[in-house]
Chains A and B, each alone.
Chain A
Amino acid sequence: MMLDAHPTHPDIDFEMWGKLNDVIIEHHDSPGAVIPVLRLCQDIVGYLPVELIDYIARGLNLPRSQVFGVATFYSFFSLEPKGRHNIKVCTGTACYVKGIQSVVDTVSRTYDVEEEGTTEDRRFSLSAIRCLGACGLAPVVVVNEDIYGDVKADEIIEIVEKYE
């Protein structure tokens, strides 16, 4: 299968386009491949710029509306660039009961970042996730891949400051 010439995008370099093409070609014929393809592409680029979504739609031979619809439906996909470090706060019931909200508020206030937003310098993204299933550790914060349990509002800044 042939792919169209890819568009240019400041956040996607030559090597990334190569990997993206591989993903699209591999899944071209399998039905229901949109979600896995979007996931793999997001893993490569870090997020899903609209230009990339268009490119994927052409590659999978699907209407742009369908691919865009899927990308915006699922919370796993982000159309905005993410920060270097992703602060994920668990907002499941157990964490909520144990006071995650004041942890979220402290981070928001200190770095001037909204939930689901990214700081101006792209250092941190703050996202709320729906229950990690680690309720024994509530309240839980995950920075990149590191899990922190029993986090208090006055400890959170010290934790995230370790991530430049």
Chain B
Amino acid sequence: MNKARTQLMICGGTGCHSTGSVKVMDALNEEIKKQGLSDEVKVIETGCNGFCAVGPVMLVQPEGIFYQKLKVEHIPELVEEHFLKGRPVKKHFYVEPASKETIPEMDEIPFFSNQLCWVMRNKGIIDPTKIDEYIARDGYFGAAKALNEMEPENIVEEMLTSGMRGRGGAGFPTGMKWKFAANSVNDTKYVLCNADEGDPGAFMDRSILEADPHAVIEGMVIAAKAINATKGYVYCRSEYPLAIERLEIALKQARDYGLLGDDILESGFSFDIEIYQGAGAFVCGEETALMRSIEGKRGMPRPRPPFPAVKGLWNKPTILNNVETFANVPQIMINGGSWYASVGTENSKGTKVFALSGDVCNIGLVEVPMGTPLRKIIYDIGGGIPNKRKFKAVQLGGPSGGCVPEEYIDTVVDYEELQKVGAIMGSGGAIVMDDRTCMVDMARFFMEFVQDESCGKCTPCREGTRRLLEILEKICDGKGEEGDIEKLEKLSTVIKEASLCGLGQTAPNPVLSTLQYFRHEYEAHIKEKKCHAKVCTGLLEFYVNPELCKKCGLCYKACPSDAITWKKKEVAVIDREKCIECKNCFDKCKFNSIF
């Protein structure tokens, strides 16, 4: 490889791909050639950088300068100024939303500097399609150690010492899971990786697979050695084509290098991995349902015990861990369990990756040590709430989780602490909501999701979530009655206690947690027939306040049903008969004159 003086690490994650990173990369290559810099400047496509909101992003190495929101038309000037004349182009630097300060270097940007990247240590640094680059970053050293120097018991012991808990959401100690499976006697065992990241608003597993697929493969090889498995599957959702593509490349390279397949690293140990594509069912994130799905059946959970560690896929002992869990394993093998356990709280060790999104300035992937307060994630890393709006709540854990309101925003990231405030760690989705979000509507949204995704096997989940949804729809429609809140509470308790699997047992959580902190909103919907966040259209009547109207006509142009009459220099008027309550006018009005 010839050495280039400058390397341009351009993000090739799904987020940046869709904002045009491929075209930007082509333009960069072309321009570099044109300026005669081909030997000095190299363009490298990396995995997801994590800062999706300002994509396409590019890091200039070794200077560490970070460019954001690049477009094809910016490239000629950028290449000439920065790479020919040595003058970095300020207008494409990151601007801190609060202080409006421009920050050229990636390490100085609070979004990055407040993170601790263990799982994502290779993001944006290596080309995920090149195994050599992974190996150069100590890749497969953990597997080599585990395979050649360690006995299965030592691997399990190291995992137990690390205190690592499953990152899929439930937080079961990984070492324990492996120990159970290792103790099951059988000549065929399986290692499964759950990449069926179904929680809406969670995308860390996708990014890990896109940015560092070998870390997951290596983790699975180590797990296989620990329990003596011969075959593994990565169950990946079909919505992630890029992750699947990168994983396929990585698997082939690992086989070519003798890091997968027969007699890995001449240790006498054999193990291979296959990708299994999901077909769109949220419930398949549940372990027994996922196994059914690989067997080619409807993905329906079954009661446990027997646990998968005893009877799993094809009735053989099986372990299932999440992508992020496996990605942690190689580092634990290299540095030891006590190194891992040195970071975190008493019962939650290591780091956790969150997918920060919603009403927050810096949307993207964030990895923080356990014990970090939510406030730091949202304000210091996330840059706070855009447009000077007010923080209302952060939703953690997707449809199984709950909302954390402002008063508990200093809660730290820890499995138990989050549970105490009615949320869960979950897989890591963190959706920030500002004061324009209606919490009753949010509960309805999640209930619609779980109701749609309930597999239908057990009655409490199938029928119970349907009834919960009906009550919530009624309330949002302005037809709520006295006693509805109590009905919601009673039904929720029954569903939690009587459902078969994790989906049903946690399905009422969004309702219960919003009731806990935002009961007054439910009451306002039912008693006053008001939705203060102005979301539930059934409770809104649209009219223009003549005192606030600036006569701009934006609402008139936005109305799809000709319900608004407006002439230049006149106040707009809404015809209620024609109004279809689409809210377009409300969203468009810049002067808050429409109610």
Contact = CB atoms under 8 A, between A and B. Distances in A.
B280 A76 contact: yes
A74 B314 CA distance: 21
Contacts of A38: 279
A137 interface: yes
A15 B199 CA distance: 40
Contacts of A57: none
Interface string A136-162: 111010000001110001100000000
B587 A99 contact: yes
B298 A69 contact: yes
Contact of B18 (A31, A97, A130, A137): A137
Interface stretch (A6-14, A102-110, A117-125): A102-110
A138 B201 CA distance: 10
B431 A106 contact: no
B583 interface: yes
Interface in B186-220: 197-203, 206-207
Contact of A102 (B199, B395, B449, B587): B587
A98 interface: yes
Nearest to B243: A133
A57 B180 CA distance: 38
Interface residues of A, number: 45
Contacts of A149: 18-19
A76 B238 contact: yes
Interface in B253-302: 277-282, 293-299
Contacts, number: 148
Contacts of B449: 130
A18 interface: no
A73 B200 contact: no
Nearest to A69: B298
B15 interface: yes
A34 to B, nearest CB: 4
B437 interface: yes
B188 to A, nearest CB: 13
B357 interface: yes
Contacts of A77: 279
Nearest to B300: A73
Interface stretch (B148-156, B358-366, B460-468, B540-548): B358-366
B566 interface: no
Nearest to A30: B296
A99 B258 CA distance: 49
A97 B126 CA distance: 34
B299 A74 contact: yes
B53 interface: yes
B588 interface: yes
B280 A93 contact: no
Interface string B229-251: 00000000011100000000000
A58 to B, nearest CB: 16
Given A93-B395, A102-B583, A147-B18, A133 B277 contact: no
A36 B239 CA distance: 15
B281 A133 contact: no
A110 B560 CA distance: 9
B299 A93 contact: no
B190 to A, nearest CB: 12
A134 B18 contact: yes
5 contacts: A34-B296, A73-B298, A130-B282, A136-B357, A147-B14
6 residue pairs, one from A and one from B, having the closest CB atoms: A136-B52, A92-B200, A133-B203, A147-B18, A74-B279, A32-B296
Given A102-B583, A137-B18, 9 more contacts: A31-B314, A93-B429, A93-B446, A94-B200, A130-B449, A135-B203, A135-B355, A136-B53, A147-B17
